[in-house]
Amino acid sequence: MRRAVMGRCTLLALGLAIGSIASAQAASTLETVRARGAVICGVNQGVAGFSAPDSRGEYRGLDVDYCRALAAAVLGDAAKVRFVPTSSQNRFTMLQSGEIDVLARNATQTLMRDTALGLNMAGVNFYDGQGFLVRRNSGVTSARQLDGATVCTQPGTTSELNLADYFRANNMRLNVVLIERPDEFVAAYNSGRCDAMTQDSSQLASYRVTALSDPDNHIILPERISKEPLGPMVRHGDDQWFDIVKWVLTGLIDAEEQGITQANIDAKLRDPNPTVQRMLGVTPGYGRALGLDEAWLVNAIRAVGNYGESFERNLGSGSPIGLPRGLNDLWTRGGLMYALPLR
């Protein structure tokens, strides 16, 4: 009996010790960010609409807006963010090693990345699917006509794996050209080295408008050969930071659901709607639950607007890319964007 009691005590002590370690780890990223005075955000090397420097060298895009919103929520200032360009080869190791605090790089969320790579998926900020871009004058109108084609894609991506799966499943011959840097990847296609290039369809639409000399001579084929749920990621072992990264994203989506914008947020602070009061910190406790100021979401929305505003500015009607909302519209309008309840 005594041995059993001692065993239970030992297990209890071990559980308390593990809990203490977990608690210490949970606060580590937030404490590091506050001590540093900046969020370090890993972004793409250059895909217009998601993350790319403008003519003044300022990063712009949907993922960039998210990073600024995160900095505003955590530090009260959207300018307190450092953008670190990452490649398809080094993005995950940089997150795992702590070189970046969050990866917001239109990266696909998958089982192996969630488990074997030790990453946590903090929600989806863009629902995508892999497609093919070809020259209009090639006469190709379907991906099934690419048998024997030379196709450019980037190494270390789900695009590389999906491409091989699609050609194998359809008994088609494939010649692959793997090029890591986006500018070199597009240049290879531009030069005629590839018959087609494959990537997330949103990226192909971006390249078509911003990087090809004659956009009208290039088309995106109708097939989508994969599901590509894209969104921010953090490393395992820090639940508080994971919660913050996740709820900043869902807060921006919820803001659109509730009609809260950059322009009307001061008026919304006086809105008697209980949901809006919780979101904007009028009803206290929700910021404290995250370890943040009660105005965390107010600061984020003031910095970049709600999800819909960011989408339209960077990828939609207010951008050269001109993508329709489609799956990325709110669930109330037939899309998949559905915010978790903030309560």
The burial class, CB within 10 Å (0-12 / 13-18 / 19+), for 235 is: buried
What pLDDT score was predicted for residue 112? 94
Report the chain's mean pLDDT, rounded to a whole number: 91
Question: Are the CB atoms for 39 and 80 separated by under 8 Å?
Answer: yes
- Give the pTM: 0.87
Widest CA span of the chain, in angstroms?
84
Q: Please write the tens of the pLDDT for every residue from 114-169.
A: 999 999 999 999 999 999 999 999 999 999 999 999 999 989 888 999 999 999 99
What pLDDT score was predicted for residue 133? 96
Angle of helix 62-75 relative to helix 239-257, nearest 10 degrees?
110
Structure tokens of 293? Answer: 């100021």
Count other C-beta atoms under 10 Å from residue 318's C-beta.
12
Closest of 291, 318, 264, 288 to residue 65, by C-alpha = 318
Question: Are the CB atoms for 231 and 122 separated by under 8 Å?
Answer: yes
Question: Are the CB atoms for 196 and 149 separated by under 8 Å?
Answer: yes
Structure tokens of 194? Answer: 């590839």
Q: Report CA Rg, the chain.
A: 22
Give the fold, CATH level 3, of 130-226: D-Maltodextrin-Binding Protein; domain 2 (3.40.190)
What pLDDT score was predicted for residue 11? 35
What pLDDT score was predicted for residue 183? 83
Domain residue ranges in the chain: 24-127+230-333, 130-226
The burial class, CB within 10 Å (0-12 / 13-18 / 19+), for 272 is: exposed
Q: How confident is the model at residue 170 (pLDDT cuts 50, 70, 90)?
A: very high
Cα 64 → chain centroid: 9
What pLDDT score was predicted for residue 182? 81
Q: What are phi and psi of 262, to 5 degrees?
A: -60, -40
Same fold, 24-127+230-333 and 130-226: yes
Integer angstrom CA distances of residue 41 from 58, 118, 141, 276, 292: 14, 18, 39, 29, 19
Closest of 118, 119, 152, 121 to residue 135, by C-alpha = 152
What pLDDT score was predicted for residue 46? 86
> Span 10-20, mean pLDDT?
37
Question: Are the CB atoms for 201 and 108 separated by under 8 Å?
Answer: no
Give the fold, CATH level 3, of 24-127+230-333: D-Maltodextrin-Binding Protein; domain 2 (3.40.190)
Contacts of 176 (CB under 8 A, 6+ apart): 150, 151, 152, 153, 160, 163, 164
Q: Please write the tens of the pLDDT for every residue from 28-87.
A: 899 999 999 999 999 998 889 999 998 899 999 999 999 999 999 999 999 999 999 998
